[in-house]
Amino acid sequence: MADRSEKSGKVRASFIDRGVHQAAEVISGAYLQWETASRKGWLQGLDARVKVFFLLYFVVVISLKRDILSEATIGIFVLAMAALSRIDFFLYLRRVLLLGFVFGFLVALPSALNVVRDGRIILPLFELPASYTLWLYHIPRSIGLTLEGLSGVALLTLRVMNSLAVSLLVLFTTPFPEIIRALKTIKVPDVVLVMLTLSYKYIFLFARTVEEMHLAKRSRYAGGDSGALGRNWIAGRVAFLFRRTQVRCEDVFKAMTARGFSEDIRLHGFNELALADWSACLLFALAGALFMAW
């Protein structure tokens, strides 16, 4: 029993350490985003309004395309722009592949089974004693992955990866305040911009608080803790963060009100688009039109 308790304690500690490591990566990711956005690359030199146009336009193009070859070509085009922008290409590619695998491939994989979509089975998995019909739903005897289903999974995965690639590319090459300024120019409601700004800032504050609480706990405990003590500590920290979030929201609202915030965001000092910006807009428009016509 003692060995089992010790092993479970190590597993919990490892799980918490991984969570704190992820929180630390969120914090370091903010500095990485500012660093890559300040480099001298092709996209970094463009106006933020041009990059927001590129993001919205290509997300629509990616969503409308219905063949794998076109999606793969769009992905190559976006990766080429990422290489020209002098960002950390392997970190960028790893994030795109990881998030695309989780939210694209794994989510869509069940749809490749013939119980979801009829088609020609190319990879049988198992067989039931007989086929079944449950009201309007038919379960065949032989269950496996179909060619049509796998094609749909591949298409959806490429769509997710391309959308992530475009979004992360804009985030990696544009400071967040400039993105907010660009969204303001296309008439995004002010309440949405305020929510985005405050949420973006609080994510890093939340991650920093979690990391500091964990380090404070580790500095006060020489050995492991029991399961009950660990669960009580986690529950207490969750409640503490909830209360702190409420207090922080109230303090921010009072501070904004005291400084004359009237729920309207006014931005000034927009520069005229340079020739390079107009050329990039034309390039993005032509590329999107070619992808749509292909």
Q: Is the pLDDT of residue 226 over 50?
A: yes
Instruction: Please indicate whether residue 280 or residue 211 has the higher confidence score (pLDDT).
Output: 280
pLDDT computed for residue 131 by the predictor:
74
What is the domain count for the chain? 1
Q: Could you give the CA distance from residue 288 to residue 53 in angstroms, rounded to a whole number?
A: 11
Phi and psi for 114 in degrees, rounded to 5? -75, -10
The answer to whether residues 34 and 85 touch, using CB atoms and an 8 Å cutoff, is no
The answer to whether residues 43 and 51 touch, using CB atoms and an 8 Å cutoff, is yes
Confidence of residue 268 (pLDDT cuts 50, 70, 90): low
Residue 242 lies in a domain: no
Question: Which residues, in sequence order, are CB contacts of 212 under 8 Å at separation 6+?
Answer: none
Q: Could you give the CA distance from residue 235 to residue 36 in angstroms, rounded to a whole number?
A: 37
Residue 278 lies in a domain: yes
Q: What is the model's pTM?
A: 0.75
Section 210-233 average pLDDT: 69
Residue 240 lies in a domain: no
Query: The domain containing residue 127 runs over which residues?
Result: 39-174+274-294
Q: Is the pLDDT of residue 16 over 70?
A: no
Residue 34 lies in a domain: no
Q: How many CA atoms lie within 13 A of 37 on its CB side?
A: 20
